[in-house]
Amino acid sequence: MSRLKTALVQQSCAANQEENVSKSCEQIRLAAAAGAELIILPELHCTPYFCQTEDLANFDLAVNVPGPITHKFAQLAEKLGIVLVISLFEKRAAGLYHNTAVVLEKDGSIAGIYRKMHIPDDPGYYEKFYFTPGDLGFTPIQTSVGKLGVLICWDQWYPEAARLMALAGAEVLIYPTAIGHDQRDDCEEQQRQTTAWMTVQQGHAIANGTPTIAVNRVGYEADPSQVTPGIHFWGNSFIAGCQGEILAQASANKEEILYGDIDLTQSEKVRKIWPFFRDRRIDQYQEILKLYREE
């Protein structure tokens, strides 16, 4: 397979899990009918973004992997003959929870999972209260459509994560995402943040010669605690080619399915003219293993 028809489901999420799952399934059916072979949903698409507050009741939203939710999506993947990337709040054991992406094969089997490694803890994004950092490393998941380097949201700011996935053979970098604006920021600051978010991921595509996909949610979600004015998720899901070029981009404020064809042969061509892997000085990078380099 040289060209991969991909669909990104940019959706809003309600308080009701069943409603969210039904919406996701309907969008998946539409994307598959349009010919998509790889379909990706945003971060934690089965629930509202509950991390705006620290509330013990929210742990009841977690699901087992595998479990009824993965089974429902697996049946759909098999029926439609697609590879599907979903994102769940995983209950691994009592008191042990992860932010987890599950990759489902065309036959409905679980091709692999990735547990979010970098966990933020900021106003409105209290993820450390809920999620244990992942323990599976940066390992691409082999599928029938290629080797997928799946990462999640906050991971997208870390070049180390993208590089390790690429070095392990990832043919595509994929970031299910839930990121938005603080309504107290002015328009200029909001635009700076969105631009930075896109730019850093385009940089990962360039530095690694690897196509990169970001799938964000969209819409406004109130802060249940009313401490903050809530989050307006900024959409802008996109696909970047392996030179950072934008192949497709969604709107900032609409639910939609974004389609794009990814040329899986382009990485090798680009890496021949930009041989960044060849010129890495791995003998000089020891300092990067320190938290901070003291003078």
Which residues lie below 8 Å from residue 173, measured CB to CB, with a gap of 6+? Answer: 149, 151, 162, 165, 166, 201, 204, 205, 208, 210, 211, 212, 213
Q: How far is CA 136 from the centre of its chain?
A: 16
Token reading at 117: 């490694």
Q: Say which of 23, 116, 127, 242 is annotated catalytic.
A: 116
Do residues 113 and 87 lie in contact, with contact meaning Cβ atoms separated by under 8 Å? no
Stated length of the chain: 295
Q: What CA–CA distance (Å, rounded) separates 109 from 185?
A: 44
Give the end-to-end CA distance of the chain in Å, rounded to a whole number.
50
Which residues lie below 8 Å from residue 166, measured CB to CB, with a gap of 6+? Answer: 149, 173, 208, 209, 210
What torsion, rounded to 10 degrees, do the Cα atoms 250, 50, 165, 270 define?
10
Do residues 30 and 63 lie in contact, with contact meaning Cβ atoms separated by under 8 Å? no
Catalytic residue list contains 153: yes
Q: Say which of 90, 153, 171, 242 is annotated catalytic.
A: 153
Catalytic residue list contains 189: no
Token reading at 234: 């900024």
Catalytic residue list contains 255: no
Q: Say which of 37, 43, 105, 221 is annotated catalytic.
A: 43
DSSP 204-219: HHHHHT--EEEEE-EE
- According to DSSP, residue 89 is labeled E
Residues annotated as part of the active site: 43, 116, 153
